[in-house]
Structure 1
Amino acid sequence: MTFTIRPLDPARDAGLLHGWVTHPKAAFWRMRDARPEDVERVYTGIAADEHHDAFLGLHEGEPVFLMERYDPAHRELAGLYAARPGDVGMHFLVAPAETPVHGFTHAVITAVMRHLFEDPATRRVVVEPDVRNTAVHALNAAVGFVPEREIETPEKTALLSFCTRERFERAVGA
């Protein structure tokens, strides 16, 4: 499966994202009650932040996932673990589908990880999913993430996990 990834345009893409982040399957995204203008405001803030970026992933020209990349030493995980040079934080959200395609979400996270590791400065990807999100824990493990420990963030109890370039390549046979 081939994906292209482009920078998110908050003004243009907020309406689309609103449908994704308020969908019941996006409960762990914590935006279920957001209004379209709330979504635009959040992503306008991310676009202006030197330590955080958002992207749309497309399959056959259609937007199918959201990806965020952030510097964990400055955002989200700042002060919650000892960040190393080359650490990159990541979030991803697959658009809700009327007819799910087996293996699609695995293909998305694989594409996200490949995109992050295209930058030679990226040495390790860091994630902090909610401890209750067992589906994403399984996906993370499938692409090489290793859980380190539970941490408390302002929003949740999270499972701090790491994936090095080498673990990712072994996991996906790259």
Structure 2
Amino acid sequence: MTFTFRPLDPLKDAELLHAWVTHPKAAYWMMQDARLEDVERAYMEIAADEHHHALLGLRDGEPAFLMEHYDPVHRELVGLYEPRPGDVGMHFLVPPTDTPEHGFTRAVITAVMARLFEDPATARVVVEPDVANTAVHALNEVVGFVPDREIQKPEKKALLSFCTRERFFDRPGVPATEVAA
């Protein structure tokens, strides 16, 4: 699978995002009760933030997933761990579908990670999923994340995990095409 990325347009993409983030399967995104205006506002704030970025992942030119990356020195994890130079925080959301495709979410997280590591300044990706989100913990492990510890964020208890560039690219059995996505 090959994906491309484009910057998210908070107004143009708000209706699509609203459907994604308010779906019951997106419970860990914590926007279940958001109105369309709430989604527009949240992503306008991200668009205006030099330390937080939102991209749409496209498959054959069509929106297929959401990717966010942020500077953990300034957002999300401030005061919750000791950041290192080259740390980049990441979130991703694969929307629900009526026709699930085996391996799709793994391909998405692999493409997201490859995109982050395209920047030579990125040394390590940091994630903080809800401790109860065991499905994403398993996916994170597949692409090389190592859990560090549980942390308490204002909105959730999270599992702080890290993936270095080396762990991502040196996973056993990774086909070269997988990381080129």
Match of 1:101 in 2: 101
| Residue deviations 1:1-51 (CA, integer Å, cap 9, x gap) | 000011000010000000000011100000000011100000000000010
- Aligned ranges for residues 80-91 of structure 1 at < 5 Å? 80-91=80-91
Could you list the runs of 5+ residues in structure 1 that have no partner in the other structure? none
Match of 2:129 in 1: 129
Match of 1:20 in 2: 20
SS in 2 for 1:50: coil
SS in 2 for 1:113: helix
Match of 2:70 in 1: 70
Match of 2:179 in 1: none
Match of 1:153 in 2: 153
Q: Which amino acid aligns with 2:164?
A: T
Q: Which amino acid aligns with 1:120?
A: P
SS in 2 for 1:106: helix
Q: Which amino acid aligns with 1:102?
A: H
Match of 1:40 in 2: 40
CA distance in 2 between counterparts of 1:104 and 1:121 reads 28
CA distance in 2 between counterparts of 1:95 and 1:60 reads 16
Shift of 1:173: 4.7
| Residue deviations 1:43-101 (CA, integer Å, cap 9, x gap) | 00000001000000011111010000000011000110000110000000001111000
Give me the CA root mean square deviation. Answer: 0.7
CA distance in 2 between counterparts of 1:29 and 1:156 reads 11
CA distance in 2 between counterparts of 1:65 and 1:90 reads 13
Runs of 4+ off more than 6 Å: none
Could you list the runs of 5+ residues in structure 2 that have no partner in the other structure? 177-181
| Residue deviations 1:126-163 (CA, integer Å, cap 9, x gap) | 00000000000000000000000000000100000000
